[in-house]
Amino acid sequence: MIQIDGNSLTINEIQNAAVGQEKVTISPKILQKIQESRDWVEGIISEGEPVYGINTGYGIFADKQISSDETRLLNRNLILSHAVGTGDPLPTEVVRAAILIRANTLSKGFSGVRLILIETLLEMLNKKVHPVIPSQGSLGSSGDLAPLSHLGLVLSTGDQDLDDLSGFAEYQGSILTGKQAMAQAGIPRIILEAKEGLALNNGATFSAAIAALTCYEAGKLLKISDISLALSLEALLGTSDAFDPRIHKSRQHPGQIATAEMIRRLTNQSTMLDSTDRVQDAYSLRCSPQVHGPAKETLEFTSKVISREINAATDNPLLFSEGEAISGGNFHGEPVGMVMDYLGIAMTEIAGISERRVYRLTDGRLNENLPAMLVDNKHAEGLNSGMMMPQYTAASLVLENRSLATPDSVNSLPTSAAQEDHNANAMTAARHSYQIIKNTRHVLAIELYTAARALDLRLREQTDKHPGVGTKAAHKSIRKAVPYQPGDTLWGPEIDQVREMIINNQLLDDVNSALDQG
């Protein structure tokens, strides 16, 4: 059970709740702070002085004061008018991550919402009511207004509780109206009171949700990239000098040092490395620590930023001691957008160098006397295409990544009659980085599959040789799931199986087990 308190939510907990669907509860320690914050809002309403977001209009209409009798209508209208997203629905895990992050944000006690709003979010999460959220239409400033408003449609209602104004949600495998889904799950929908509409839809929450899941997956893929590199290095009879610790310590970058160390561990006891008279390898092998390493450091930096963001108060205004409401810009998604651009660039490079190794494995002029395209034997060349097309697929995904990695956070257009004249484009940056992760995962699966085949062919010709402890375990793990195929077959489904081994941690677990024992 995950317990939120507004300050200590982790990326791993988001993964566990979003993908593993672990249940979430609220810490009793923060209930008083939440109530105190709500009392401040009630005090502001009773005094009648205009305070942005509580008894005024929004954006360009901030100077329009709203009477207390119209407070509920103001909040309902905000959700209705802002739910204008478009595009394919976001994946369920992203929606779950966003619900958790929003509940955590509101739990900090700076937003002035009632406890029932937070509890309703957590009930939706625990009972698996997943609003259908369009993936496009957010600028990441003032937060993810459109996606969060689509969430608000399902969670809240107005004086007239109409099906066609309740959005849509997935519940128990069916897409229902929000009203139907909540009713079937036994969760009462609430009427939003003063400040609650803006507290609900103001903040880069969906951007942060995608970012958190992206960081988690990037961490796995960076470990896999070292394994795929080591497997290719063995199959190509690479040289070990490039991974000598003295080289990497002389440059001081910790990610580079860690990568070289991992390659040494994976290839420990190999008799395949240094078995030729070649003194150095191509860059895709020799310089891999200098590419994998910076990506690891980028992820470390990005994860720190996102860890702060998922525990941040991000709506406007925020309420502080004695009910002082202060307007600011914590909803602006620039921190998320910039680091998602940064991580997207790093993971694009991981896919790029992986594809270069696939190319080298398949080129008969570069693969140290293996058959061209890794067909079963040289007599099969022409009749069989071998690994020709998997390399095409890898190249296509790398090219797509390079387009997706073009920075999004530097792009801005003004909105709300220029009141909001600089926007973060954070949601687009996060979505693009998330897609880069998916593409990179498949490229690495292609490298693992191709390198395993190359190693089969190498060991068949050089029976006196054997790979290292970690690479041997990786090869064995792949072959257990996908036996060697001599002639052409449907490579795609077999590569998909390797990709699934990455997703479900089977390959990583098998390799780590061998390293721990060796």
Q: Catalytic positions, please? A: 52, 82, 202, 283, 286, 331, 420
> Residues 136, 85: contact at Cβ < 8 Å?
yes
d(CA 190, CA 245): 61
Tokens of 455: 């190693």
d(CA 238, CA 258): 19
Q: 200: closest CA among 85, 52, 75?
A: 75
Q: 144: closest CA among 157, 162, 129, 131?
A: 131
Q: Can you tell me whether residue 4 is helix, strand or coil?
A: strand
Q: Is the peptide bond before 390 cis (omega within 30 degrees of 0)?
A: no
Token pair 């066609």 is at which residue? 164
* 190 DSSP β-pair partners: 156
Q: 436: closest CA among 409, 478, 411, 407?
A: 407
Q: For residue 169, what is the enclosing H or E element?
A: strand 168-171
- CB-CB neighbours of 94 under 10 Å: 24
> Residues 477, 189: contact at Cβ < 8 Å?
no
Cα dist. 50→67, 210, 319, 415 in Å?
10, 36, 14, 24
Q: 194: closest CA among 68, 34, 57?
A: 68
Helices 11-18 and 205-235 sit at what angle, rounded to 10 degrees? 100
Tokens of 301: 């930096």
Which residues touch 113 (CB under 8 Å, ≥6 apart)?
34, 37, 38, 106, 195, 196, 199, 200
Torsion of CA 242, 245, 246, 251, to 10 degrees: 80
Tokens of 96: 């779950």
Hey, CA dihedral for 14, 18, 21, 26, is it positive or negative?
A: positive
Backbone angles phi, psi at 91, to 5 degrees: -60, 150
Torsion of CA 364, 368, 370, 374, to 10 degrees: -60
> Residues 230, 266: contact at Cβ < 8 Å?
yes
